[in-house]
Structure 1
Amino acid sequence: MPKVGTVTPILRMFDIAKAREFYLYFLGFAVRFEHRSDDNAPLYLGIAPDECELHLCEHHGAGSPGAHIRAEAVDIAGLHRELTARKYRFNRPGLETTPWRTKEVTVIDPFGNRLTFFEND
């Protein structure tokens, strides 16, 4: 089988301001690019904190709300502390240890998409 590269999830968004507040302020992602085919077209936005790139799109065919993605993280306890310290009023994630011995922090964006950040023990 040929080598397969990274996966870039495309998540549906419905409100640009809420998406920016959640992904940029709360999660600390940075914008990599923004694209519209014209002034009245849906926004297609590339964001990432590090190597974990996500694409957000307003287009109705870009995906269904309620997707769930998992991303490996280093120092999950530190990530949990950072997120908790931001006091984002719409999301206060916990730090969980799963039966298969990973530590996880799960957040839900304003559009119903779930992002689980995990660290293996």
Structure 2
Amino acid sequence: MTERLAPVLRTTDANAAATWYARLGFVKQWEHRFASDLPLYVSIARGDVEIHLSEHTGDAARHPVVSVRRRHRCCGGCLRRGCRRTERLGT
């Protein structure tokens, strides 16, 4: 069995947040709204990484901290020497 974890990030505008994450290669998977006047809930993904964006006030902390570690591609010699570069992504 494969388990997956998808953090829920609170946002005031899920479509604007999805557009921001698109710059990082995320694609909108689906969206849900119980009624046209209720908050939006959106799933975005990039490869095996999935994030849920919610306009619902009770779904998540207002200012969460999410750390993403990503290895950048570089020359084979650098990788053999153990070179690793990480970056912090904004929310």
User: Which protein has the larger Cα radius of gyration, Structure 1 or Structure 2?
Assistant: 2
Match of 2:90 among 97, 101, 108: 108
Share of identical aligned residues, percent?
Answer: 28
Tell which has more relative contact order, 1 or 2 (C-alpha 8 A, sep 6+): 2
2:89 equivalent to 1:60? no
Letter in 2 for 1:23: Y
2:59 equivalent to 1:77? no
TM-score between both structures, scaled by the size of structure 2: 0.74
The equivalent residue for 2:18 is: 20
Structure 2 gaps of 5+ residues are: 74-82
Query: How much does 1:17 deviate?
Result: 4.4
Query: How much does 1:39 deviate?
Result: 0.5
Q: For the Cα contact (< 8 Å) 1:52–1:71, is it kept in 2?
A: no
Aligned residues between the structures: 82
Higher strand share: 1
Query: How much does 1:62 deviate?
Result: 1.1
